Amino acid sequence: MGRSYIVDVVVERYFSSVEASGAACTTGLLIGQSSPQRDFVVLSTKTPQRGNESSSGTLDNVDVDWVTEHAKQVSSMLPGGISVLGVFLVVPPEMSKEATNTLRKLVFVVDKYLSKGRLWYDTEEDVTERVALQICSKTRKIICKTFDVKDPKSSAKPAEWKYQSGVSSTWPVVTCSVGINLRLPVSDKSLEDTQTCIREGLQRWAKRITAGTCLFNGKFMAQETELVAGQKKNPKLSQQKLQAQLLLPPEECQPEQTCCVVSQPSASVVIRGQVSCRAYLHSNKPKAGQATEAIKRDILNTVSCRVDMLFDDLFMSQAQGRGAVEKRHSLPLRVFAPVPEAGFCVCDYMFPDESVSAVTEHFQEILDCTIPEESINTGLEVSREEPHKPAHSTGDSCQEDAPAQLHTEAPQDVPKKQRSLEYFVGLAVAGGVALLAAATSLLYLGE
């Protein structure tokens, strides 16, 4: 019994344009939602060109690291419920046999890379089949297979690929805004140590979030309850919106612990503020339990993503030898934008000194998607910062004279943040211990 993929017609059009461009051996990602019975693919994006290379047209030159890095970037732009479902490969007919091997490798490596550093774990209900789509550049024929990424010996299973219009048009959306106030002990020895400590602290916080109870539109529903009861009768129903509330249970008291835990960390990092979260559900009788998982994962993803971005920025500053960094860092704000002709939004992150046009460029580069600047919703996380970063701000960020204005020009004294794909890969490759060892304690001024 193979899986079925219900694919939006925009994906079909996208494939046509990719094939029309004539480039042989194009890789790309397939984006959508999984449900126990079938999967829905609603967006696809080809792997961006790397630097000045032109596509070489052979399978050997498929840069696996580049594809996985792209997948990571794409993943951070997807709200809850939506994820990278697999990989596609456009090949000329003569390479069709080797293509399967390449696809298999890509599917496994992409999944492994995406699972790294996540604050949540797959459950038994999660679908572990990923799609490997092979498209013939001459005949446009599609061969659709799946691999079980949890089984390293998995062989290709045939799957069904069906086109439909408006696949995501009635996807229910769950939203909420979550407050965080964590004080995490960290070691001051190096930036890497600090990052490890913060990751551990976030993992403890993630456990509590995972154990939380979700209410939807103020009501509690059992895991197996269907969220959109009665929708079948009225197919013209507009997208259902659900406001989620997350309640955390009390932490377990250990009866054998009779005394407090004392520690003496050299420093601590306070992560505080709110994050706006969103998750989409499929329209195939989604259950309350699935909605709960989806929104919880989005909460965990958005926080870990922003912290990762902050550290990427800090590592880069350190490598570039930029001067002393302040003790308080604003994490990037999240913005959402509707995907044209679809029923869902994608998201991106902006540091307070970045402009909305950068977001548009980013969407174009990473998702190969043209999203007009005016449709980008920056209102969910309104920046309360002044455009420039003050030198030693220690606490209060609320400055009443800079309300909802978003700055469109970066100040000139701070180098413009480049968040293109190149930047991140450069970091991944160059950021070794050697670089960090050379730059000790540049960041923190002693008390």
Partner 1 sequence: MYIILSFCKAPSDSTVIFRVRGSLEFSCWLESSNVSQSQTSVSTTFSDLRSKVRDESFVFNLCSSPVFIWPNKDCQASVGSVTASTPCGDLQKHVEVEDRDGGGRKKRKDRKTVSTVINLTSMTEVTVSDEENLSASHLSQKKKQHSVAMILPLDCVISTGADESVGIVCECLIGALCCQLSDMEKVVLQHMKGTAIPVPQPFHFMLPEPNGLVSVVYPANVSDSQLESCRKDLHKKYELPEDRPYFRRANVFQFPDQLFKDGYLRNPHEHLNHPNFEGANLYLVQGVYSYHHYMQDRMDDNGWGCAYRSLQTICSWFQQQGYVERAVPTHKEIQQALVDVGDKPAAFVGSRQWIGSIEVQAVLDQLLKVTSKIMFVSQGSELATKGRELANHFETEGTPVMIGGGVLAHTILGVAWSESSGQIRYLILDPHYTGGEDLQTITEKGWCGWKGPDFWDQQAYYNLCLPQRPKTI
Give the CA angle between residues 91, 132, 278 to the nearest 5°: 125
What is the closest distance, in whole angstroms, from the C-beta atom of residue 253 to partner 1 in the complex? Answer: 4
Q: Which of 42, 62, 176, 228 touches partner 1 (CB under 8 A)? A: 176
Interatomic CA distance for residues 55 and 44, integer angstroms: 19
Does position 183 interact with partner 1 (CB under 8 A)? The reply is yes
Q: Which of 170, 245, 377, 420 touches partner 1 (CB under 8 A)? A: 245
Q: Which of 61, 151, 164, 270 touches partner 1 (CB under 8 A)? A: 270
Q: Which of 1, 20, 229, 260 touches partner 1 (CB under 8 A)? A: 260
What is the closest distance, in whole angstroms, from the C-beta atom of residue 254 to partner 1 in the complex? Answer: 7
Interatomic CA distance for residues 10 and 43, integer angstroms: 7
Nearer to partner 1, 126 or 251 (CB): 251
Contact 166, 189 (CB under 8 A): no
Contact 104, 147 (CB under 8 A): yes
What is the closest distance, in whole angstroms, from the C-beta atom of residue 307 to partner 1 in the complex? Answer: 7
Q: What is the dihedral of CA 299, 302, 307, 313, to 10 degrees?
A: -170
Burial class (CB in 10 A: 0-12, 13-18, 19+), 185: middle
What is the closest distance, in whole angstroms, from the C-beta atom of residue 78 to partner 1 in the complex? Answer: 19
What is the closest distance, in whole angstroms, from the C-beta atom of residue 287 to partner 1 in the complex? Answer: 15
Using CB under 8 A, which residues numbered 186 to 225 contact partner 1?
Answer: 186, 188, 194, 209, 212-213, 215, 218-222
Does position 399 interact with partner 1 (CB under 8 A)? The reply is no
Contact region with partner 1 (CB under 8 A), list: 11-19, 110-118, 257-265, 369-377: 257-265
Nearer to partner 1, 362 or 389 (CB): 389
Torsions phi, psi for 129 (to 5 deg): -85, 135
**Cross-strand pairs, 346:** 337
Contact region with partner 1 (CB under 8 A), list: 125-133, 176-184, 360-368, 421-429: 176-184
- Tell me which residue of 131, 120, 153, 134 sits closest to 91, measured CA to CA: 134
Contact region with partner 1 (CB under 8 A), list: 90-98, 101-109, 122-130, 390-398: 390-398
> By CB under 8 A, how many residues form the interface with partner 1?
72
Q: Which residues contact 35 (CB under 8 A, 6 or more apart)?
A: 127, 282, 284, 286, 290
What is the closest distance, in whole angstroms, from the C-beta atom of residue 74 to partner 1 in the complex? Answer: 22
Contact 142, 96 (CB under 8 A): no
Nearer to partner 1, 256 or 413 (CB): 256
What is the closest distance, in whole angstroms, from the C-beta atom of residue 72 to partner 1 in the complex? Answer: 21
Residues written for the chain: 447
What is the closest distance, in whole angstroms, from the C-beta atom of residue 266 to partner 1 in the complex? Answer: 6
What is the closest distance, in whole angstroms, from the C-beta atom of residue 289 to partner 1 in the complex? Answer: 14
Using CB under 8 A, which residues numbered 296 to 335 contact partner 1?
Answer: 303, 306-307, 310, 327-331, 333
Quote the strand ranges of 137-210, DSSP E.
142-148, 157-158, 160-164, 173-186
Using CB under 8 A, which residues numbered 328 to 387 contact partner 1?
Answer: 328-331, 333, 381-385
Does position 242 interact with partner 1 (CB under 8 A)? The reply is no
Torsions phi, psi for 333 (to 5 deg): -90, 150
- Tell me which residue of 327, 311, 310 sits closest to 191, measured CA to CA: 311
- Give me 419's structure tokens: 């968040």
Q: Which residues contact 371 (CB under 8 A, 6 or more apart)?
A: 337, 338, 339, 340, 346, 360, 363, 364
Does position 244 interact with partner 1 (CB under 8 A)? The reply is yes
- Give me 368's structure tokens: 């190969």
